[in-house]
Amino acid sequence: MLASGVCFGQTFAGNVAPIIYTQCAPCHHLGGPGPFPLTSYEDVRRHARQIADVTRSRYMPPWLPDQGHGDFAHELRLSDAQIQTIAKWVAANDPPGDLASIAAPSFDSGWTLGKPDVVVTASHPFTVPANGTDVYWNFIFAPHVAQSHYIRAIEIRPRNAKLIHHANIIVDRFGTITQPFPGMDVSVPRNPLDLDGHFLFFKPGAISEPEPDGFSWRLDPSTTLILNTHMQPSGKVEIEQPTVALYFTDQHPKFAPYLLQLENDDALNIPAGVSDFVVSDDFKLPIDTKVLAVYPHAHYLGKLLEAYATLPDGTRKWLIRIPDWDPNWQSVYRYQTPVLLPAGSVIAMHYHYDNSAANPRNPNHPPKRVEAGNRATDEMAHLWLQIMPASPQESRRVYAEAWAKQEVAKNPRNYAADVTMGALALARFNALDAVKPLHDAVTLNPGDAIAHNLYGTALEATGRNSEARHEFEAALQIQPDFANARFNFAHSLAKAGKKAEAIENLQMILKKYPDDAAAKGFLGELSEH
């Protein structure tokens, strides 16, 4: 009876194909990231015993979050019944059933979201070595749009999907980084009030989806995109040069999400042999909040990753729990419905690390002390959350201010928090309150052109014009094409009676940005007098 399949009644066409084609084939198809295709009965029959084993152990399909600790969209976890269906079919010697009644899945080699508005290829190819450790490389894309657009979707296409494990797009609005570079943790110059709000995450086999209605984001003519890529050698030397498709929309964003990052890399100093090293961080929500998505991140020593909120009444609401962290399967997890957290809730990150020889993912044999860093053999303790105010009357800047205050209290040498506090004070036209944090910022990081420019703005607004001019000059020495700093420098020169020098600097702006209205207006004003 087992040989005929009559006892169990499971067939490929009737029972197994719907599972495999939905949960496995998106990665396991020709040209996909999976090592072999699973798009036909013969494909699946050839690997039937292996499929039964890896689904029974829940190694496949890869899904890290623990059940009951977050209700996520596009969940890849198989149910117990689905796993039993596959096992029974294999035990029955893989009966095909009525193959004519099912259609094999097709995976279009074209763009899955239709014809893009702009397609841009990475500026330079990268040679992936045949062997060795994981490779972290940053590709640069210059869309060269003539005017600002709102983006409703992106789609990323690697040359070889098997090479890329995952990637994140980072928006560089000033276009300051023009050459590709190595590394995992990327920082780009940005206006501290131009707050990050979107997970632009890519994983081969994942469904490409547009942003929800009202969640578009802006692409400016000066913007470049950085694809921060995690690649794994394939056993032979290969060339990778990915392409990105951009889809425009006429709809301005109605909602402004905020990417909140919890991290405590300073605490990462894990002695060799320690099997349970704990790192934590927390953040108190200043307003009622919706949590839209979560992205936990650690390296190879990460074991148990937990994130939860403690509500004002003391109850705990889970955001995610990963009992067996594997960085090879990290992802952004979006909630089926936003998680509502009241003001005063404390979000906590609680990560456990295993630096013992018993950890099969430990990159060091024998184990050695591991600290924070950007290499795969270093460690990280990061948790990103996409959040937004529950009330449309609230601004996401409330989160930025709360984050900055908490960060400065935790680490007075956090220059990014100082810059944020200073910028927020300037936005409230309170230059006096901006001076100290911005002074601290440029002292801690003298190479930040934006911080120098903001500090100069605060100084000028408080009547310290000669000091302000020095800060604008410092910004321009770091970044000569920084138009706003050059405009501020011209304004400071004009106040000091140096009209010719002011005009010269405004002309420099207009040479690069002929349509800069502020520079045109100020130049006209100076030329009349």
Q: Where are the domains of the chain?
A: 12-101, 118-249, 258-400, 412-527
CATH architecture for residues 258-400? Sandwich (2.60)
| Residue-level pLDDT, tens digit, the chain, 529 residues | 333 334 447 899 999 999 999 999 988 988 777 889 999 999 999 999 999 999 999 999 989 999 999 999 988 889 999 999 999 999 999 999 999 999 988 877 678 888 999 999 999 999 999 998 889 999 999 999 999 999 999 999 999 888 888 899 999 998 889 999 998 878 887 888 889 999 998 887 777 788 989 999 999 998 999 999 999 898 999 999 999 999 999 999 999 999 999 999 999 999 999 999 999 999 999 999 999 999 999 999 999 999 999 999 999 999 999 999 998 888 999 999 999 999 999 999 999 999 999 999 999 999 999 999 878 789 999 999 999 999 999 999 999 999 999 998 888 888 999 999 999 999 999 999 999 999 999 999 999 999 999 999 999 999 999 999 999 999 999 999 899 999 999 999 999 999 999 999 999 999 988 888 999 999 988 887 6
Q: Is the dihedral angle over the CA atoms 352, 358, 363, 367 positive or is it negative?
A: positive
386: left (phi over 0), alpha (psi -120 to 50) or beta: beta
Residue that has been written with the tokens 């995952």 in this structure: 166
Residue range 118-249 forms a domain whose CATH class is: mainly beta
**Under 8 Å between Cβ of 283 and 384:** no
Q: Report the pLDDT value the prediction gives residue 7, as an integer from 0 to 100.
A: 41
Strand partners, 159: none
Task: With CA atoms as reference, report the closest residue to 442 among 468, 464, 404.
Answer: 468
pLDDT digits (tens, 9 = 90+) for 369-401: 999 987 878 999 999 999 999 999 999 999 999
Rg of the chain over Cα atoms, rounded to whole angstroms, equals: 27
Q: Report the pLDDT value the prediction gives residue 109, as an integer from 0 to 100.
A: 67
Q: How many CB atoms lie within 10 A of CB 95?
A: 21
Q: What is Dmax (Cα atoms) for the chain? A: 101
DSSP assignment string, 164-175: EEEEEEEEETT-
Residue range 412-527 forms a domain whose CATH class is: mainly alpha
pLDDT digits (tens, 9 = 90+) for 50-82: 999 999 999 999 899 999 999 999 888 899 999
**Under 8 Å between Cβ of 356 and 369:** no
DSSP assignment string, 263-321: E-GGG-EE-TT-S-EEEEEEEE-SS-EEEEEEEEE--TTEEEEEEEEE-TTS-EEEEEE
- Check for a shared fold between 118-249 and 412-527: no
**Under 8 Å between Cβ of 51 and 44:** yes
